[in-house]
Structure 1
């Protein structure tokens, strides 16, 4: 069942290959590593035939495949459209947009900020409060006392925006949530005054915790602006488990052979507004305790991956039907109200589109699937760990190809310490379970 997964088509462009216990068909492509220039030569050496087979035609990878990898890397750096993957679609579609069009300003990498901007709301007044509070993170990178001066400007800008826009913010609250939203706004306003005192006392250590607290209030206000679920899921998916809103889970991992870390709890926020089918499928599996006791099956510095059950199946077998349960590829494009299903953005010709849930943050959570079958995801999940030449934030070859449905928002840095064989002791839903509709775990008992 397990297969050695080649690092990419061309061994000369990567420092090493990784092995994995994930079935070959469910692995996502690794990015190129160690790219130093365009003059790399392909030092192809024959390996065992089964290790380098193309899934579609059974032929070993060749010099042609190496050239494709180099072309892809060149295209990413130069912005020149290149031939794309999968290989059988190379002649049909260019993959990559002009990166200068994609990158407009520094990319947002904070998972909390990404989740706030992903909410289906349109209220400029609250965003004008949010932005300067988020900018405090950059201000704290300034050396010496100048950092606090910059933070103070951020806080005063946010406070001024709150006072000037409060009426518009309150008018944007959903009627059923208005009382709670106003309560949060009052706490936010009081928190701004407390922040000023912190800055007057030059208490730098208290800045980041206060920033986090105020942004939690902002995020709560923004969630209170969402009035119900904003669109209809396509009819063919309406009977599947759906997460119509947000939920959060705590994943407790037992870490082996690490003297500095015995166990860790990762807090993960799941976004059903932009991925209701994907997030709903996951929450349903969590409630079935599908992942409890399962080992981490891939941890190579690029991603952490799990979800392959024991036995020949590569995903979840629904006991009520005794058949695999698969879900469609589900991606929401920025500016659109509802996701697109069953096709990559490349296949749709949306080369310059950005996704609502991008692979920007350390700990971005997404579904693994068969590389050549868009609608083959089931239970295998992965977390992206770091950027590389082919996976920079805001210009990511994974965006639009794999369904993101959440972010690790607490203890995400410890994902880098996870190894193959570490055990997921439990995953528990800690909020938002009432947003899950059509839960199949209840039907099965």
Structure 2
């Protein structure tokens, strides 16, 4: 059975504050991106998606992320809105950029996706108009809702720019028997917390572009109903651990626990690396494209002595990203990040040991061919 209490979780919490070997010599040139949707966009191959990445970056500047930017310490998962002048300035910038880039975006998605792409662009314009109206009324929730909706559409366009072909292949002999999901998966994780009797849904985007084996495994377990009714096995100020049935070591297939290897792609890499952490590869300066810098980061747990021993258990990071900057913690490149909670991340603060996952559903996907 995987370690779910005490030792492993203490390691995870401590790791968030542990400097990497080179951290004392140089700090990052800029703060890490902390908007999960922008991270997902920036993790797409820039050569194919530069136009849509620029649009997403401008949309992301409307809000700040994590508990360091809001007033209530009891609502860490909520976004903070920047000054209303900044929001309106960014709204105009996004609108202008969309007009400039529309032709390039449509040309990049391919002839067969024109109708769907035009519909998404129309939806983004409607979201921009909603942001403008909400900002003028100084409604934070409405701005955030419209921003999340717009970025979701922008992300879909980004994946469509890959023209149906996965940019990174999984070696044929890697993780035999583990399903793959190339592209995007969209999950709804329903949780029940004893605290206040709250039942809610966390909506997550799963990155099968950069972690197709890990996302394939998660989606397969969700479709089997494996996660339904599983408990929260650990919760503290930085993590919520879940997804492992009591008394089990993971998902069993053909009489053995199905294992998922470490799966990491570093910035600038043309392929995904497997089975070795970035530290084990001797790449101390390398940064993963899916970092632990957003509230609601989803990652697989594995035993401390076996980085390729993940199965079903996963955890969500709820630490303030200002305390876990990319490149300055020992989580990046040591655990597989396979997605991010996009909506409902505030539910993580209510979850405690003994609470449960009611269900995990894959409600949609945008799949690519390997």
After superposition, the Cα gap between the structure-2 partners of 1:367 and 1:210, relative to the gap in structure 1 and judged at 3 Å, is: closer
Given that residues 168 and 272 in structure 2 are in contact (C-alpha distance below 8 angstroms), is that contact kept between their aligned partners in structure 1?
Answer: no
Per-residue CA distance 1:125-156 (angstroms, 9 max, x = gap): 333322222111159x89xxx93332222122
Q: In the aligned structure 2, how far is the partner of 1:198 from the partner of 1:310?
A: 46
Q: Compare CA radii of gyration and give the structure with the larger one.
A: 1
After superposition, the Cα gap between the structure-2 partners of 1:2 and 1:353, relative to the gap in structure 1 and judged at 3 Å, is: closer
After superposition, the Cα gap between the structure-2 partners of 1:419 and 1:226, relative to the gap in structure 1 and judged at 3 Å, is: same
Q: Which runs of 5+ in 2 are unaligned?
A: 71-81
Q: How does 1:105-116 map to 2 (within 5 A)?
A: 105-116=30-41
Q: In the aligned structure 1, how far is the partner of 2:209 from the partner of 2:232?
A: 28
Partner of 1:170: 106
After superposition, the Cα gap between the structure-2 partners of 1:194 and 1:307, relative to the gap in structure 1 and judged at 3 Å, is: closer
Structure with higher RCO (Cα < 8 A, 6+ apart): 2
Partner of 2:318: 385
Q: How does 1:99-178 map to 2 (within 5 A)?
A: 103-122=28-47, 123-138=49-64, 147-178=83-114
Partner of 1:366: 299
Shift in Å at residue 192 of structure 1? 4.2
Q: Secondary structure at the match of 1:268?
A: strand
After superposition, the Cα gap between the structure-2 partners of 1:341 and 1:136, relative to the gap in structure 1 and judged at 3 Å, is: same
Q: Is structure 2 residue 338 aligned with structure 1 residue 401? A: no
Partner of 1:296: 232
Given that residues 362 and 413 in structure 1 are in contact (C-alpha distance below 8 angstroms), is that contact kept between their aligned partners in structure 2?
Answer: no
2:171 to 234, 244, 249: 234
Q: Is structure 2 residue 246 aligned with structure 1 residue 310? A: yes
Q: In the aligned structure 2, how far is the partner of 1:231 from the partner of 1:160?
A: 33
Greater share of residues in strand = 2
| Structural RMSD (CA) | 3.1
Given that residues 190 and 358 in structure 2 are in contact (C-alpha distance below 8 angstroms), is that contact kept between their aligned partners in structure 1?
Answer: yes
1:334 to 260, 263, 267: 267
Q: Is structure 2 residue 140 aligned with structure 1 residue 203? A: no
Given that residues 326 and 332 in structure 2 are in contact (C-alpha distance below 8 angstroms), is that contact kept between their aligned partners in structure 1?
Answer: no
Q: In the aligned structure 1, how far is the partner of 2:16 from the partner of 2:113?
A: 51
Q: In the aligned structure 2, how far is the partner of 1:254 from the partner of 1:235?
A: 39
Q: In the aligned structure 1, how far is the partner of 2:152 from the partner of 2:321?
A: 30
Partner of 2:12: 30
Given that residues 120 and 273 in structure 1 are in contact (C-alpha distance below 8 angstroms), is that contact kept between their aligned partners in structure 2?
Answer: no
Shift in Å at residue 110 of structure 1? 1.7
Partner of 2:287: 354
Q: In the aligned structure 2, how far is the partner of 1:137 from the partner of 1:403?
A: 27
After superposition, the Cα gap between the structure-2 partners of 1:148 and 1:100, relative to the gap in structure 1 and judged at 3 Å, is: farther
Q: In the aligned structure 1, how far is the partner of 2:321 from the partner of 2:37?
A: 22
Q: In the aligned structure 1, how far is the partner of 2:240 from the partner of 2:344?
A: 14
Given that residues 109 and 393 in structure 1 are in contact (C-alpha distance below 8 angstroms), is that contact kept between their aligned partners in structure 2?
Answer: no
Q: Is structure 2 residue 328 aligned with structure 1 residue 423? A: no
Shift in Å at residue 308 of structure 1? 3.0
Q: Which runs of 5+ in 1 are unaligned?
A: 4-19, 36-72, 77-94, 438-445
Shift in Å at residue 301 of structure 1? 1.9
Q: TM-score, normalised by structure 2?
A: 0.84
| Matched residue count | 351
Q: In the aligned structure 1, how far is the partner of 2:301 from the partner of 2:234?
A: 12
Given that residues 298 and 316 in structure 2 are in contact (C-alpha distance below 8 angstroms), is that contact kept between their aligned partners in structure 1?
Answer: yes
Partner of 1:225: 161
After superposition, the Cα gap between the structure-2 partners of 1:138 and 1:309, relative to the gap in structure 1 and judged at 3 Å, is: closer
